[in-house]
Structures are given as structure tokens and as C-alpha cells.
């Protein structure tokens, strides 16, 4: 049997393009879910893996729909293989039911992992360079230093409540407590 697996990470994303591609590839049953690829527990993927028998094939539109990390991808494909089933990725034209397909799969997975790691490195380098230039990322503070001093003065000297200060400065009570 040919099984398909489709996944998107968030509720506002659509599975339609993946499902159309899987149906076009002759998939007989599609397991689809909206869950992060980094989650280890994905209900539909688990159901799919439980259904596998020798000779079955698992098909995905792109191999990154199966997993976000190389290690997880290799683990899942090994689980598929250990049950006597094959793995196909349509976008990358990978078919692990053949020796050449297994080789191509491992090469592509390694390249993808390398690229993800390079993106993380470049992001960290960019953030470090910005910090050296005096730029600090993140959300600006809700209260300036002067306003924090004023909040403390009003609380300590005037005895105003946290909720009153929060309304007065138009911030949350937790912001007042942190000040």
C-alpha cells in the first residue's frame, strides 16, 4: 500500500498543495496533521507508522514535512525501513526502495542539515555584530528608567497600589511589580 504523509506547522497554513501532490503520486491513504516538525509526538505520523507492513511505501511531498532535523528524519526513515517499507519524497525525487535512492536520500538530508546550521550561524553572527554596534534586539521596555523611578517613588512614598499604578501608567500589574 502507498501511504502519504502531509504536515504543516501552524493552523493558518494549508495542507492542500501537499495533498494534491500526494494524490497525483497515487497515494492510497493520506495521513495529514497540523503540528510542528520539531515535536516528537505527532499523532498522525504515529498512526501511519503503526499501519506499515512489508512492501508498503511512505510518500511525502517534501522530506522536510516528515521532520525538521536530520537526526529525526533519519530515525523516522529507519523506522519505516525496519518495517520493510520504503520512503519516497516527491520534490527531491528520492526513493529509498532502491540503493541509489538511499544514497541520494542521505546526501540530501546531510546538505539540508548543513544549510540549517549555516542559517543559525549567520543569524548569531548578525545579532553579535548588531550588539557591537549598540543595537539590542527584543521588545523595548514598557517603562523608561525615569518612569520606573517614578513608579517606585509613588509606591513607596505615596503608598499607591499596584493596580492603581498599572492604570495610571497604562501597563500591566506585572510590569509595575517588576519595576
Angle of the 162-169 helix axis to the 145-156 helix axis, nearest 10: 150
- Length reported for the chain: 179
Q: What is the pLDDT of residues 107-157, one digit of tens each?
A: 877 887 788 889 999 999 999 999 999 887 888 889 999 999 999 999 999
The catalytic residues are 9
Residue pair 43/68 in contact (Cβ under 8 Å)? The answer is no
Q: What is the pLDDT of residues 52-90, one digit of tens each?
A: 999 999 999 998 888 877 778 888 888 999 999 999 999
User: Which three cell numbers mark 170?
Assistant: 497604562
Closest CA to 64 of 51, 77, 54, 53: 77
The CA distance from 27 to 58, in Å, is 9
pTM for the model stands at 0.60
- Provide the pLDDT for residue 40: 65
Q: Average pLDDT, stretch 33-58?
A: 88
137 Cβ neighbours under 8 A, 6+ residues apart: 127, 130
Helix (H) or strand (E) holding 32: strand 29-34
Closest CA to 103 of 113, 93, 118: 93
Closest CA to 111 of 156, 160, 64: 64
Residue pair 36/45 in contact (Cβ under 8 Å)? The answer is no
Amino acid at each position: 500500500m502507498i501511504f502519504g504523509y502531509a504536515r504543516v506547522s501552524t493552523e493558518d497554513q494549508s495542507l492542500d498543495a501537499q495533498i494534491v501532490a500526494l494524490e497525483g503520486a497515487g497515494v492510497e491513504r493520506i495521513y495529514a496533521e497540523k503540528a510542528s516538525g520539531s515535536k516528537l509526538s505527532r499523532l498522525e505520523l504515529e498512526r501511519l507508522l503503526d499501519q506499515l507492513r512489508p512492501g508498503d511505501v511512505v510518500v511525502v511531498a517534501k522530506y522536510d514535512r516528515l521532520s525538521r532535523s536530520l537526526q529525526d528524519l533519519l530515525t523516522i526513515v529507519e523506522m519505516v525501513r525496519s518495517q520493510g517499507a520504503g520512503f519516497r519524497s516527491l520534490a527531491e525525487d528520492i526513493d529509498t526502495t532502491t540503493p541509489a535512492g538511499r544514497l541520494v536520500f542521505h546526501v540530501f538530508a546531510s546538505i539540508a542539515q548543513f544549510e540549517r546550521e549555516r542559517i543559525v550561524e549567520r543569524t548569531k553572527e548578525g545579532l553579535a555584530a548588531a550588539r557591537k554596534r549598540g543595537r539590542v534586539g527584543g521588545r523595548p521596555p514598557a517603562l523608561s528608567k525615569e518612569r520606573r523611578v517614578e513608579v517606585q517613588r509613588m509606591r513607596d512614598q505615596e503608598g499607591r497600589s499596584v493596580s492603581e499604578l498599572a492604570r495610571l501608567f497604562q501597563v500591566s500589574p506585572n510590569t509595575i511589580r517588576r519595576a
